[in-house]
Amino acid sequence: MYLFILTLIVYVSSLTLIKPAPSSLKSCQNYSYSDNFKRVWASIFSGALIILVFFLTTNFGFISIDENLYKTLALKNNMALFLDWPAQLVSHLFIHGNLIHLVSNVVGLGMASVYERRVGAKRYFSVLLIGSLASIPSVLFYSENVFIGGISGGVFGLAAAYFTDEKDLTLKEWLLAIALFLVLAALLAFDSENKINSQDELNIQIDHIGHFLGALGAILYCRFVPLR
């Protein structure tokens, strides 16, 4: 309980208290903390939500997730298990296999608050949703039974949008962004293969294919639904 509360306080207070760079404050010298909170409330909400879900799925211990619950909520490539809980298409986005997995995505959402400041909460949520949904087909690329959870695809989508959600990018720059995220996903996948023996009993995959698909979905969204 104490670790959960501490994590939540650190996350919310960090985004609320850390204001933009001084250079961006010159036109608004009376920029308050409440104004700052309003500019990043979507980032705060999304991070706080997955922290809360992790707390619930660890049976309020905030250390080790309930394996049976994780297996139920996670996205699986076993059709029989999928039919038992079709809602896993959505539920898998909110669960995380361990504390490190949770923290990495929370940090990613926190960093994405920079993107929210520029485009607003509506665009932020749109990209997060598109990236998350675009990552789902990755489960079809695995031959062995897997349990995939987490909002990493959405986080990678936000990262990709930060660099590509601009009006004046050329086609060459769009394709370069896709290539760079593909190379990043390949490098991470190669690193995971070297550490395959360290997988835990849940067989939680580091879904680098999903990471790339999430980034690709966000890039295409930003390309064909430009920021107004």
The DSSP call for residue 33 is: H
Of all residues in the chain, the percent with pLDDT exceeding 90 is 53
pLDDT of residue 199: 45
Whether the full predicted model's pTM is greater than 0.85, yes or no, is yes
Does the pLDDT value for residue 196 go beyond 50?
A: no
Query: Alpha carbon of 173 to those of 112, 124, 169, 170, 177: distances in Å?
Result: 21, 22, 6, 5, 6
Backbone phi and psi for residue 32, each to the nearest 5 degrees, phi listed first = -90, 170
Q: Helix, strand or coil for residue 129?
A: helix
Concatenated DSSP letters for 135-200? TGGGGGG-SS--EE-SSHHHHHHHHHHHHH--TT--HHHHHHHHHHHHHHHHHHHHHHHHTGGG--
Does the pLDDT value for residue 35 go beyond 90?
A: no
Of all residues in the chain, the percent with pLDDT exceeding 70 is 86
pLDDT of residue 204: 57
The region, left, alpha or beta by phi > 0 then psi within -120 to 50, assigned to residue 150 is left
How confident is the model over 43-87, as pLDDT tens digits? 999 999 999 999 999 999 998 999 999 999 999 998 898 888 899
Backbone phi and psi for residue 135, each to the nearest 5 degrees, phi listed first = -80, -15
Q: Helix, strand or coil for residue 32?
A: coil
Tell me which CATH homologous superfamily contains domain 65-224: Rhomboid-like (1.20.1540.10)
CA dist 89 and 138 (Å) reads: 12
How confident is the model over 144-182, as pLDDT tens digits? 888 999 999 999 999 999 999 988 888 888 888 888 888
pLDDT of residue 197: 44
pLDDT band at 123 (very low <50, low <70, confident <90, very high): very high
Which sign does the torsion angle of CA 128, 134, 137, 142 carry?
A: negative
